[in-house]
Structure 1
Amino acid sequence: MPETFHDFVVHRTPALSRTAYLLTGDHQLAEDLLQAALARTYRHWRRIRGGDPEAYVRRVMYHQQVSWWRRRRVAERLEAEPTDRVAADHTDSTALRMALTAALQQLTPRQRAVIVLRFYEDLTEARVAEVLGCSVGTVKRHGHDALRRLRLIAPDLVDGTPERSPR
Structure 2
Amino acid sequence: MSAWSRLLDTLVRERGPALFGYAYVLTGDKDRAEDLLQDALVRTFRSGRALGSLDSAHAYVKRAITTAFIDSGRREAARPKRDGVDILDRPGVAVSPDPSGRVDDAVDLRAALLSLAPRERACVVLRYLEDLPVAHVASTLGLAEGTVKRYLSDGVARLRAAAPGVEFTEVETVGVHTHSGGSR
TM-score range (shorter-chain normalised) is: 0.7 to 0.9
Counterpart-to-counterpart distance in 2, 1:55 and 1:44: 17
SS at match of 2:63: helix
Equivalent residues of 1:25, 1:101 under 8 A apart: yes
SS at match of 1:72: helix
The aligned residue for residue 52 of structure 1 is 56
Judging changes above 3 Å, is the alpha-carbon distance between structure 1 residues 53 and 44 closer, same or farther for their aligned structure 2 residues?
farther
The aligned residue for residue 176 of structure 2 is none
The aligned residue for residue 15 of structure 1 is 18
Moved more, 59-68 or 40-49: 40-49
The aligned residue for residue 76 of structure 2 is 72
Counterpart-to-counterpart distance in 1, 2:68 and 2:58: 15
SS at match of 1:76: coil
Moved more, 97-106 or 61-70: 61-70
CA RMSD of aligned residues (A): 2.7
The aligned residue for residue 87 of structure 1 is none
Judging changes above 3 Å, is the alpha-carbon distance between structure 1 residues 162 and 71 closer, same or farther for their aligned structure 2 residues?
closer
Q: Which has the larger radius of gyration?
A: 2
The aligned residue for residue 156 of structure 1 is 165
Counterpart-to-counterpart distance in 1, 2:50 and 2:134: 25
Counterpart-to-counterpart distance in 2, 1:45 and 1:55: 16
Q: Is it true that 1:112 corresponds to 2:121 in the alignment?
A: yes
CA shift, 1:131, in A, is 1.5
CA shift, 1:35, in A, is 0.6
Judging changes above 3 Å, is the alpha-carbon distance between structure 1 residues 138 and 47 closer, same or farther for their aligned structure 2 residues?
farther
The aligned residue for residue 122 of structure 1 is 131
Judging changes above 3 Å, is the alpha-carbon distance between structure 1 residues 4 and 162 closer, same or farther for their aligned structure 2 residues?
closer
Equivalent residues of 2:26, 2:125 under 8 A apart: yes
SS at match of 1:123: coil
Equivalent residues of 1:22, 1:116 under 8 A apart: yes
Identity of aligned residues (%): 42
Segments of 4+ moved more than 4 angstroms: none
CA shift, 1:45, in A, is 5.1
SS at match of 1:4: helix
The aligned residue for residue 95 of structure 2 is none
SS at match of 1:48: coil
Which structure has more relative contact order (CA 8 Å, sep 6+)? It is 1
Counterpart-to-counterpart distance in 2, 1:162 and 1:39: 37
The TM-score, its normalising length taken from structure 2, stands at 0.69
The aligned residue for residue 97 of structure 2 is none
Q: List gaps (5 residues or longer) in structure 1.
A: 79-91
